[in-house]
Chain A
Amino acid sequence: MALVEVKNVRKTYRREAEELTVLDGLSLEIAEGDFVALMGPSGSGKTTLLNLIGGVDQPSSGDVVVGGTRLTGLRGKQLARWRARNIGYIFQLYNLIPVLTALQNVELPLLLVKMSGKERRERARHALDIVGLEDRLKHFPRQLSGGQEQRVAIARAVVSDPTVLLADEPTGDLDRKAGADILTLLDRLNKEFKKTIVMVTHDPTAAERAHRRLHLDKGVLSNGPS
């Protein structure tokens, strides 16, 4: 059984009188340990799909099952708890909390599981170690470069050892060199730590790093050249 199963999902947004269909009967399976690149023009529904897999949004119809859990059956608090344990989110704009240090940002998801303060700090430090920022623990986000901020964000996404990593244009706001570093890091998380990754990207060279490339256009998925 696939780790992520999207079954015949429809997602419509209602804007005043008119109804906008973003995803129209979309189905998708992602195996454990896979690294999928999701491409497509702007406005084609990539973020929407990622949000459905991440339990941040609910489909209008159809089912989303991740790691055996049917997300469409969960509500509010249950869904929040499920996200905390199963999803690591990486955003285009990093979205670190500005008033917290790198270490505190990475500790944040661990506050949601039962853990001693000491263990929490150790695990956060270890995650920052993996992304190569062991010497930036006490830095605030504004004291870091974009690439470093994104690496902190990745440490935050993996620190609680989630089932799936969802990355929404993680290199979209970075220069070529920093972007390449981030991709190398994601690649390593996939190979070395067996993380399942779904990455939205516009950049064909970024998509090259994935095992599978999917194209989303007008609500329909197609396999890209692999």
Chain B
Amino acid sequence: MPIPISYNVRNVIQRPWSTLATTIGIALVVAILIGAFALASGFQAALVETGSDSNAMVLRTGADSEISSGISLDAAHILKALPDVAPGPDGRPLVSADMVVLMNQPRLGQEGSSNVTVRGIDPPSLALRPRVKLVAGRMFAPGSDEVIVAQRIARRFAHCGIGDRLRFGQRDFTVVGQFTAGGSGFDSEVWGDNAVLMPALNREGAYQSVTFRMRDPSRFAELKRRLESDRRLGVEVRTERAWYAGQSRLMSTVLRAGGILITLIMAVGAIFGAMNTMYAAVGQRTREIAVLLTLGFTPGAVMRAFLFESVFPALIGGALGCLIALPINGVTTSTTNWSSFSEIAFAFRVTPAGMIAGLIFAAIMGAFGGFLPARQAARQSLAMTLRAG
């Protein structure tokens, strides 16, 4: 026995200004929520896209970062010789055993120093990771004291210009090129020849990871099972994409949680606004509510009707919030303030899931704001109100 929706819709239209105020308040909250989610999604996407589904990434069992991983030289040899490794255009296998180490480097333009990721690679690495592109200078010569640096690193750290010298361990390395990596994790790294870097940094015992292009990515599951059950290796195998997705999880969770926190604080204001509007509506219509109850509509039906009157404009506000948030899609964030995670540039991504979350949140705000007034409407004493006035 529902009260017809047209009754509520018309009542909402009867008070256009307070409805508009509520709607805009909720729209702003939803826009911020969607924006925060777009930030997190953009960040996640940047990291996830660092990796390819066609590449397999091998780390020591249980390692949760490359730094804490280790692959023995013998294991790396076995992996490099696998028939599963696809050959590159030059016929050589597309595989790179990487040494990864954090080096403390002085920053540009400010006091102090911070960590830079230094990656020692095998020559096929560039072909293996097509997102990495040289934008200045040239590739380092194999076996030489040369390195290439991510362009973004060059902006933040000293001695990263072409021709400059970087000191790692006991040796100086000459910067001969700069690269970009499409906003991925590699955009924060310095690359050199592992055959030179490993002895220079006393890291000759082991690599950190081995990445290779799979000849048949569709058979990844079988490959994973085979390698992980090989006692000689002691490794865990993921697709490169899955690995970087995992690496982004913590940060994007933090971004989302932060967004939700800010949104919740703002939502309190929007909810009180909606509540105010609804209390006024219920107050003005006590007689009308009494009539509905007298006719035989149940208190539950009255309660639902007034909840709807609160949720309906809130949903419109939610849709409006989606429209407000939509233009930030694709806008690139400035990353200079984000020193906690080395220089990852990324674009906001407004996702359908984010918009649906925004709409649901709008409905929840409307329901919260409408609950107490609606309950008051449903509970009012019939005999008393009919007599009044």
A residues touching B (Cβ–Cβ < 8 Å)? Answer: 47-48, 51, 54, 56-57, 76-77, 80-85, 87, 89, 91, 93, 95, 97-100, 104, 108-109, 111-112, 156
For residue B385, give the distance in angstroms from its CB to the closest CB of chain A. Answer: 10
Chain A residues contacting B389 (CB-CB under 8 Å) are 93
Q: Contact at B1–A111, with CB atoms within 8 Å? A: yes
- Asked whether, in the complex, the Cβ of B10 is within 8 Å of the Cβ of A99, the reply is yes
B288 touches A109 (CB 8 A): no
A23 to chain B, nearest CB (A): 13
Residues of B within 8 A of A98 (CB): 288
CB B15 to nearest CB in A, in angstroms, measures: 11
B1-17 vs A, Cβ < 8 Å mask (1 yes, 0 no): 11110110011001000
Binds A, one of B48-56, B175-183, B226-234, B292-300: B292-300
Secondary structure dominating the interface of B: helix
Q: Are the CB atoms of A47 and B387 closer together than 8 Å?
A: yes
Is B265 an interface residue when CB atoms closer than 8 A count as contact? no
CA distance A87 to B294 in the complex (A): 9
How many residues of chain B get a CB closer than 8 Å to chain A's CBs? 26
Pair B14/A112 contact, Cβ less than 8 Å: no
Within 8 A of A (CB), among B1-40: 1-4, 6-7, 10-11, 14
- Bound Cα distance A85, B1 (Å): 13
Partner of A57, one of B14, B297, B300, B383: B383
Across the A-B interface, how many residue pairs have beta carbons closer than 8 Å? 73
CA A99 to CA B9, docked complex, whole Å: 9
Which 9 A-B residue pairs are closest in the complex by CB-CB distance? A84-B296, A57-B383, A99-B10, A83-B296, A95-B291, A80-B298, A51-B383, A112-B1, A112-B296
Which residues of A are found within 8 Å of B136, using beta-carbon distances?
Answer: none
Answer whether residue B287 sits at the interface, using C-beta atoms and an 8 A cutoff: yes
Measured in the bound complex, the distance between the Cα atoms of B173 and A5 in whole Å is: 106
> Contact between B7 and A80 (Cβ–Cβ < 8 Å)?
no
Given contacts A51-B383, A95-B288, contact A77 B294 (CB under 8 A): no
Q: Do A77 and B298 have beta carbons less than 8 Å apart? A: yes
Given contacts A47-B387, A56-B294, A76-B299, contact A111 B2 (CB under 8 A): yes
* Residue of A with least CB distance to B9: A99
Cα distance A99–B284 in the bound complex, in angstroms: 13
Known: A99-B7, A111-B1, A111-B2. A51 touches B386 (CB 8 A): yes
**Nearest neighbor of A96 in chain B, beta-carbon distance:** B291
- Interchain residue pairs with CB less than 8 A apart (14): A48-B383, A51-B382, A54-B294, A57-B382, A76-B299, A77-B300, A80-B299, A83-B296, A87-B294, A95-B287, A99-B7, A100-B10, A104-B4, A111-B1
**B-chain residues with CB within 8 Å of residue A112 when the two chains form the complex:** 1, 295-297
Chain B positions 211 through 244: 1 when the CB is less than 8 Å from some CB of chain A, otherwise 0: 0000000000000000000000000000000000
- Which residue of B7, B293, B382 is within 8 Å of A97 (Cβ)? B7
CB-CB contacts below 8 Å: B267-317 with A: 287-288, 291-300
- Taken together as a complex, chains A and B put the C-alpha atoms of A213 and B271 apart, in Å, by 54
Report which residue of B3, B296, B298, B386 has the largest number of chain A beta carbons within 10 angstroms of its beta carbon. Answer: B296
The answer on a CB contact under 8 Å between A85 and B383 is: no
The smallest beta-carbon distance between B291 and chain A, in angstroms, is 5
Interface centre among B11, B14, B297 (most CB of A within 10 A): B297
Complex Cα spacing A48 to B383, Å: 8
Q: CA of A97 to CA of B7 in the docked complex: distance in angstroms? A: 9
| Chain A, Cβ-Cβ closest to B1 | A112
Q: Which residues of B contact A77 (CB under 8 A)?
A: 298-300
Name which residue of chain A comes closest to B295, CB basis.
Answer: A109
B7 contact set on A, CB distance < 8 A = 97, 99-100, 104
CA A108 to CA B389, docked complex, whole Å: 23
* B382 CB contacts on chain A under 8 angstroms: 51, 56-57
**Most chain B C-beta atoms within 10 Å of own C-beta, residue among A80, A93, A112:** A80
Contact of A83 among B3, B288, B294 (CB under 8 A): B294
